[in-house]
Structure 1
């Protein structure tokens, strides 16, 4: 796979568990101090132990000044896309352009339906996500009013606004063939997770995105590649994303240059704030340097 040449960025993926709020906010503060670029918050409204993702994201934005925030990824079946578009744009305005929108088709359908949401088949979930991207972008447009007539969502002359204050992206956390093609046609970013899609699976998935982008007349390099990476820096576990900092630097640099991923959002398996600090100090800057070196050599 190509290296698209995009800037290399880093983030952190703290838990939204209510019982761990102090540590979650401390991890966000560590990301801000450490020069990381993003904080991703998972969105599972049916999870009784979790805080509401959008309330937590607003809180994180309010206590930081530089770092960006995004839902990693928003639960579409329980969040109406036109209203979510307005909330996302509002957070972008309030934060001075520090919000991005990650969307997911949904999972855990029994829990979603128990909370009053739909129970969708895989084709229905894919179709709803494709429609949602279109609805969100209409709601961010500068048109006086917008209409949309889909199988899952409709707009009937609604007046969009406010608009985001920066060129906010819509990133999709997907893995199936149909939805990877939808990333290429419609979206601004792709958000896979190493727990579900290890590095060796990325090239074939990315190629499907690129092919769809080219067929749609889009430049594949304009699609950001955000990789959620789970592990422990200096851990004793087995696997590609374990071990001391130099092992992380080697692996993430290889994934960036060989697989085209440009953003790494770190979810520490243990250690919380200490792990975030170590990732920010010993991994992120070294990966940037190594990728620059390999790009120069290449």
Structure 2
């Protein structure tokens, strides 16, 4: 087929039925034996649809022990939910234990109940500001292994992240956003962009804006990862192919399917997806 090459990923919700260790194991082993390049997981402590969730980074460590090839990350982690130095340590540890396969998706968070239950809820603007400052802290800790820092929102005194990540410049950081301030931060600090619920025409427009911002920051856009996390589930593999084709035509180079199927369907649908969809874009 004459379509552009697109890397394929799968996003696993960190809620039922994927709180089941045996189902996670089966999904991970099938994906690792395939051409799927990324295995992401949601990072929420509660959701409007479920208060039953797994900690994303514990789940990713479990998945790392079951796999040897596929990249592993969050789609996406709400940075203001945790202290960024602690998040830097967790992700660095996953990178070490997985042999350099960790990826960090970042966002500002949106589900207030999980913040009020486990952290602190800030207004929209402050959450964005904390995300941007937090990413700077994370990157510097990965780079140097040690940090003293006093910013507007965070103070870090004698923080140590050793061992440092296996990846030379640290795990890739993908921004999950369509907002202007976060896009500007992605252009300065990020390695990629992974929005969701973004139709092709909108994706194309924001992608062009982001390319211009990357150039304004004197960065090379060549290695920047333009991704898309598809929140929808589709009836058949032909529908997945159509969606991927439409997004690839407007510059998407990593498509991640959110696997919101029930336990009875999950494995069969995954095998069909790997057999019929993934090779079309490899």
Q: TM-score, normalised by structure 1?
A: 0.83
Tell me the SS of whatever aligns to 2:102: coil
Indicate how the Cα distance of structure 1 residues 160 and 45 shifts in structure 2: closer, same or farther if over 3 A, else same.
same
Alignment correspondent of 1:124? 126
- For the residue of structure 2 that corresponds to 1:39, the secondary structure is strand
RMSD value over aligned CA atoms?
Answer: 2.1
SS of the aligned residue for 2:132 comes to helix
Q: 2:218 matched to which residue of 1?
A: 217
> What are the superposed Cα offsets for residues 239-274 of structure 1, whole Å, 9 maximum, x if unpaired?
xxxx443x4334413422x32111111123432111
Deviation, structure 1 residue 44: 0.8
Give the CA deviation at 1:173: 1.1
Deviation per CA, 1:214-248: give whole Å up to 9, x if none.
11101223221221124445x1xxxxxxx443x43
Please list every run of at least 4 consecutive aligned residues from structure 1 whose deviation after the TM superposition is greater than 6 angstroms: none
Deviation of 1:27 (Å): 1.8
Alignment check: 8 A CA contact 2:237 2:276 kept:
no
* Alignment of 1:253 onto 2:245: yes
CA distance in 2, matches of 1:248, 1:119: 37
Q: Which of the numbers 184, 190, 204 marks the counterpart of 2:193?
A: 190
Of 107, 110, 118, the match for 2:110: 107
Query: Does the residue aligned with 1:175 lie in a helix, a strand or coil?
Result: coil
Instruction: State how far apart, in whole Å, the 2-side matches of 1:146 and 1:232 are.
Output: 43
Distance 1:110 1:13 in 2: 23
Matched ranges for 1:13-162 at <5 A: 13-20=11-18, 21=20, 22-47=22-47, 48-115=51-118, 117-142=119-144, 145-162=146-163
Structure 2 partner of 1:238 = none
Deviation at 1:23, TM superposition (A): 2.6
Q: Secondary structure at the match of 2:101?
A: coil
| Pair 1:19–1:276, CA change in 2 (3 A) | closer
Give the corresponding residue for 1:12.
10
Distance 1:16 1:159 in 2: 29
Aligned residue in 1 for 2:253? 262
The answer on whether the counterparts of 1:13 and 1:40 sit within 8 Å (CA) in structure 2 is yes
TM-score normalised according to structure 2 size = 0.88
The answer to whether the aligner puts 1:287 opposite 2:278 as a matched pair is no
CA distance in 2, matches of 1:160, 1:27: 31
Q: How much does 1:84 deviate?
A: 1.0
Report the counterpart of residue 174 of structure 2 in structure 1. 171
Separation in structure 2 between the aligned mates of residue 152 and residue 100 of structure 1, nearest angstrom: 24
* Residue 272 of structure 1 pairs with residue 266 of structure 2: yes
Provide the C-alpha distance between the structure 1 equivalents of 2:108 and 2:204, rounded to a whole number of angstroms: 22
Query: How far apart are the structure 2 equivalents of 1:34 and 1:103?
Result: 26
